[in-house]
Amino acid sequence: MRPRIGGDRLLHVYTWILIAWLILPIAVMILFGFNDPQGRYNQTWQGFTLKWYGEVFALEALTDALVVSLLIAVATALIAGALGTGMGYALGRWRFRGAGALNLLMFAAIASPELVMGSSLLSLFVSLGAPLGPVSITIAHVMFSVSFVAVVVRARVVTLDRSLEEAAADLGASGWTTFWKVIFPIILPAILSGVMLAFALSIDDFVITNFTAGTTQTFPLWIWGSTRVGLPPQVNVMGTMIFAGGVLLAVLTNIRSRPRKKAA
């Protein structure tokens, strides 16, 4: 049933070319973490060294920025995880007045340009005279990631078999017990992937953070600021470590969830 033109083989090659192109800048990032630049600019290859891996935390301001990013991402993941789970569960489980409006609000928050969300938040904070810093950044990050968590959880909740709840009720479980003993374990993987998504969105965000940070430096903001004065190789090392950690985590969770899928 394949097209006889042999297009599939051509497309296969093309797919790999595109993947190579996507990976090329990542390879550059990894490579230049091993570079031994003489001046301030880590732009041309000048020799192999491992010293930046030893001195990865030597730049205090950069390390501080990374820590700030991590703390904000954890706070965002927890808050957006809790609020998004509530929304996702309610939207998947019940029909209620206002659900349509909420869906619209969530959709608008997902589809709006980050630039506009960031600048409008700055407008609000400026008008209120509110201080900018880690708190305003976290508020912003929860705002743009909560809908994603809700969407992920809702997608899982709508596929729940209602007879499970009925069975639990028949066995005398209260609504509360049914939720924690039956429903929650089933939707937990969706909640966790929503939480991880919120964490990833938060730690990588540049645009909205740029508007809501004031003088606070996060990892992406610090990198952005240093493009003018020359990017130190430590940034490449940190980028490589985050990349490796993320890939490892993704591969591990995928392997772990595979046998379960087969059993189901």
Partner 1 sequence: MDRVKRTLSPYLLVLPGGLWLLLFFAVPMATMLSLSLQEGDIVNGFVFTGHWQNYVDSISAYQTQLIRSLVYGAITSVVLIVLAFPVAYWIAFYGGRKKATYLFLILLPFFVSFVLRTISWRMLLTDDGVLLHPLKEAGLLPADFQILGTATAVIAGLVYSFLPFMVLPIYVALERIDPRVVEAARDLYASPLTSFRKVIFPLALPGVFAGVLMTFVPATSDYVNSELLGSSETTMIGQVIQAQFLSNSDYPTASALSFTLMTVLLIGVFAYARALGTEDVMKVAAR
d(Cα 178, Cα 184) in Å, to the nearest integer? Answer: 9
| Residue 167 C-beta: closest distance to partner 1, Å | 18
| Residue 250 C-beta: closest distance to partner 1, Å | 7
Contact 202, 145 (CB under 8 A): yes
Neighbours of 18 (CB within 10 A): 10
| Residue 154 C-beta: closest distance to partner 1, Å | 8
- Of 57 and 224, nearer to partner 1 (C-beta) is 224
- Of 74 and 242, nearer to partner 1 (C-beta) is 242
d(Cα 81, Cα 187) in Å, to the nearest integer? Answer: 13
- Of 49 and 253, nearer to partner 1 (C-beta) is 253
DSSP alpha helix (H) spans, the chain:
7-31, 51-54, 60-93, 99-111, 114-128, 134-157, 162-170, 175-178, 184-204, 207-212, 219-226, 233-263
- Of 54 and 243, nearer to partner 1 (C-beta) is 243
| Residue 185 C-beta: closest distance to partner 1, Å | 18
